[in-house]
Amino acid sequence: MKTPPRLIESLRDALNNAPELPPRFLRGVSATVRVGDLVSGTSLGGRLGELAGRSVLVATRDQLAAALALIELDGVARRLVVVTPDLPAEHLPIVSAKAHVDAIVSDREGEDGVPISLRVFSTGTVVATNGTPPANRQTEWVLLTSGTTGAPKLVSHTTATLTGAIADSPSPRTDVVWGTFYDIRRYGGLQIFFRAVLGRASLVLSDANEPPGNYLARLAAHAVTHVSGTPSHWRRALMTPEARAIAPRYVRLSGEIADQGILSALRCLYPQASVGHAFASTEAGVAFEVNDGLEGFPAHMVGASGDVQIEVVDGSLRIRSPRCATGYVGDEPSTLTDDEGLVDTGDIVERRDDRYYFLGRRSGVINVGGLKVHPEEVEAAINRHPAVRMSMVRSRRNPITGSVVAADVVLTRESGEGATAEFEREIRQICHDRLAPHKIPATIRFVPALQLAAAGKLARHA
Amino acid sequence: MSIRATVISEIQKVAQDDKRSLLRLTDDLVLLDSGLNSLAIAILVARLEDTLGFDPFTESRDAAYPVTVGDLVRFYEDAAEAHRVASRRVE
């Protein structure tokens, strides 16, 4: 695989070879940076040279500050450890020790418990510098997985594995503006960050504390053309009036199962857009993208030859691709790949006719009297009802069968709080038509909202 | 609604949702012969817990599970009575 250019080189090429292009921007919630200014500027106080060849922890609160630091440090640092904003403070020293961190980029003062003396303050703004750029080197990128319990795993990538799914030549369109509900320090968001920087596009960053309607309003104000998020991000977005203010050409879903309900809802709201869902994870990388508007993926993709190998072993999806992570960092007991070199994604799929459908995560199974239920499969059925915006299916203890299936359902804004008895009857009918009896929710509860975890996925509790 | 009426009405709803036909619900009818299978009874228990606020299967120290429709009704009536006594003590 050919080595992609350093991010800063890509920016320089764009300025030198296509000076006629309109300027493009990285837009944070409160500040905006003209991306080209980084070519002869710095957000790190001109101290890039001190960070050359080091293992650098990028731990800024502000997402724009992180974006600028990542552009500057790619090809300079030996290793970039990209800290997610919600990492509990007590994990920071553990992560640092595991990754042999010897320098920290941060935008806050104060004690963080990490015994490192080389600290560079990130301003989140760009000032001109005439310093000589440090020599080129390969940078290892270390991402943290968004586990729900315990310390995160440290997953190692190269610029090549991270950018493998991105087209070599930038789009000829000069008006591309990306938006993503993800934080760019998660795999799904980092993909969009690379697409924007390498693809000569602008990027409007979201903010964890910003209501989705406000973010959508900002996307509308900057004429966003490409938007990505998890299905849960999108379901929540569709509950805001501002979702009608944007008119994207491309809508991308990843990180959770994209069921037919959300795909159809997006198609209906954005008829001009191409709606695609990507199968990607921090470990497996971007495995494949599905652009036919249907849930699941065509069965012929399994076992087909190509640079990405997709296999189904014991019902779970396994992937080998040049975009897979290169391994874990630290004394991780689990290995990334099986004996065949495939990454087990832990996602359970089932073949029906000529298509595979995602049933859910192997770890989230509900056991109803010895029969397995994947919550996501039931949610997909419930979400088919036009009045349903989103749903979460959970296990409920039961003295007869051990567990039964319980569903919490959020209705669309238009549906209001009216005829819930009628909706419940119709949802039951849909479930009855599509699911085995033990998978049909025993109880359905209508709730005003469902909680999303920091990674933009439904907050599932055991 | 009385406990009896609530239990009988939930049984009918569960059967209806699952497109099951029920025999006439007399007190001596064996539950599992009524047209309900164990999954349907599990669902019934979950819904009655939502409606009545208690689950006698989990609370009861009585190891004998109800066998007939009459047993089931009495099981819930006894649990309801226990709850009334308990709440009176709290007052």
What is the pLDDT, as a whole number, of residue A205? 98
What pLDDT does A332 receive? 67
Q: Which of A421, A427, A345, A322 is nearest to A379 (CA)?
A: A427
Question: From CA B89, how far away is CA B91, in angstroms rounded?
Answer: 5
Q: Is A299 part of a structural domain of the chain?
A: yes
My answer on whether A65 and A171 are in the same domain is: yes
CA A24 – CA B84 distance, rounded (Å): 70
Residue A404 contacts B where some CB pair is shorter than 8 Å: yes
Are A104 and A79 in a shared domain?
yes
Q: Does residue A2 fall inside a structural domain?
A: no
| Alpha-carbon span A270 to A248, nearest angstrom | 7
- pLDDT exceeds cutoff 60 at B49: yes
CA distance A317 to chain B (A): 30
Mean per-residue pLDDT over chain A, rounded: 90
CA distance B91 to chain A (A): 30
Q: pLDDT at position A420, please?
A: 86
B89 close contact with A: CB closer than 8 A: no
Q: Is A461 part of any domain?
A: no
- Using a CB–CB cutoff of 8 Å, tell me whether B43 touches chain A: yes
3-state secondary structure A211-248: CHHHHHHHHHHCCCCEEEECHHHHHHHCCCHHHHHCCC
- A211 close to B (CB below 8 A): no
Residue A456 lies in a domain: no
Query: Which of B37, B43, B60 to mutate to test binding with chain A, by most A CBs within 10 Å of its CB?
Result: B43
User: Whole-model pTM?
Assistant: 0.82
Q: Are residues A336 and A394 in the same domain?
A: no
Quick check: is A187 in a domain? yes
pLDDT-derived band at A88, boundaries 50, 70, 90: confident
**Span A383-398, pLDDT tens digits:** 999 999 999 999 998 8
Instruction: Looking at the structure, tell me whether residues A21 and A87 fall in a common domain.
Output: yes
Q: Is residue A360 part of a domain?
A: no
Based on the fold, state whether residues A90 and A140 are members of the same structural domain. Answer: yes
> Is A438 touching B (CB cutoff 8 A)?
yes
Place B61 in a pLDDT band, splitting at 50, 70 and 90.
low
Residue A29: which CATH number? 3.40.50.12780
The residue among A291, A323, A349 that closes a domain is A349
Q: Does B59 touch chain A (CB under 8 A)?
A: no
CATH number at residue A395: 3.30.300.30
Give the end of a domain, one of A297, A318, A349: A349
What is the pLDDT confidence band of residue A113, given thresholds at 50, 70 and 90?
A: confident
CB atoms within 10 A of CB A176: 21
Domain containing residue A199: 7-349
Least confident segment among A144-153, A352-361, B45-54: A144-153
User: Distance between CA A72 and CA A38 in Å, rounded?
Assistant: 8
Contact B4, B71 (CB under 8 A): no
Contacts with B17 from chain A: Cβ below 8 Å: 428, 432, 440
User: In the structure, what pLDDT confidence band is assigned to residue B15 with cuts at 50, 70 and 90?
Assistant: very high
Same domain, A340 and A433: no
How many domains does the structure of chain A reveal?
2
Same domain, A41 and A74: yes
Report how far residue A66's alpha carbon sits from residue A105's, in angstroms, rounded to the nearest whole number. Answer: 9
A369 to B42: CB separation less than 8 angstroms, yes or no: yes
Question: What integer pLDDT is reported at residue A187 of this predicted model?
Answer: 94
Percent of chain A with pLDDT over 90: 65
Residue A251 lies inside a defined structural domain of this protein = yes
Residue A73, SS3? helix
Burial readout A392-413 (b: 16 or more C-beta within 10 A, e: otherwise)? bbbbbebbbbebbbbbbbbbbe
Neighbours of B38 (CB within 10 A): 12
Q: Do B42 and A432 touch (CB under 8 A)?
A: no
Report the distance separating Cα A247 and Cα A263, nearest Å.
16
Which residues are bridge partners to A143 per DSSP? A82, A155
Which residue has better confidence, A1 or A37?
A37
Alpha-carbon span B68 to A381, nearest angstrom: 35
A400/B18 CB distance under 8 A: no
- The predicted model gives A25-36 an average pLDDT of 95
Same-domain pairing of A398 and A318: no
* pLDDT tier at A462, thresholds 50, 70, 90: very low
Domain boundary among A349, A382, A399: A349
Residue B62 has pLDDT above 80, yes or no: no
Q: B17 — contact with chain A (CB < 8 Å)?
A: yes
Q: Cβ neighbours of residue A152 under 8 Å, at least 6 residues apart?
A: A84, A87, A91, A95, A144, A145, A146
A242 CB contacts (<8 Å, ≥6 apart)? A212, A213, A214, A216, A217, A220
Within chain B, what is the greatest distance between any pair of CA atoms? 44
Testing the interface with A: which of B9, B17, B18, B45 to mutate, by most A Cβ within 10 A? B17
Domain shared by A369 and A337, yes or no: no
Same domain, A123 and A231: yes
Output the pLDDT for position B6. 96
What is the average per-residue pLDDT within A135-141?
89
Residue in chain A lying closest to B42 (CA): A400
- Predicted confidence at residue A401, as pLDDT, reads 83
Instruction: Name, in order, each residue with C-beta under 8 angstroms of A366's C-beta and a sequence gap of 6 or more.
Output: A372, A373, A374, A375, A393, A394, A395, A403, A405
> Any CB–CB contact under 8 A between B32 and chain A?
no
At residue A392's C-alpha, the angle toward residues A182 and A282, to 5°, is 35
Region label for A293, one of left (φ > 0), alpha (ψ between -120 and 50) or beta (otherwise): left
Q: What is the pLDDT of residue A73?
A: 96
CA distance A376 to chain B (A): 20
Q: Same domain for A393 and A262?
A: no
Q: Residue A462 is which amino acid?
A: A
Q: What CATH number has the domain bearing residue B77? A: 1.10.1200.10
Same domain, A167 and A264: yes
A355 domain residue, yes or no: no
Range of B43's domain? 3-90
Q: Count how many domains chain B has.
A: 1
Beta-carbon separation of B46 and A398 below 8 A: yes
Report pLDDT digits (tens) over A142-179.
999 865 456 788 999 999 999 998 877 666 677 899 99
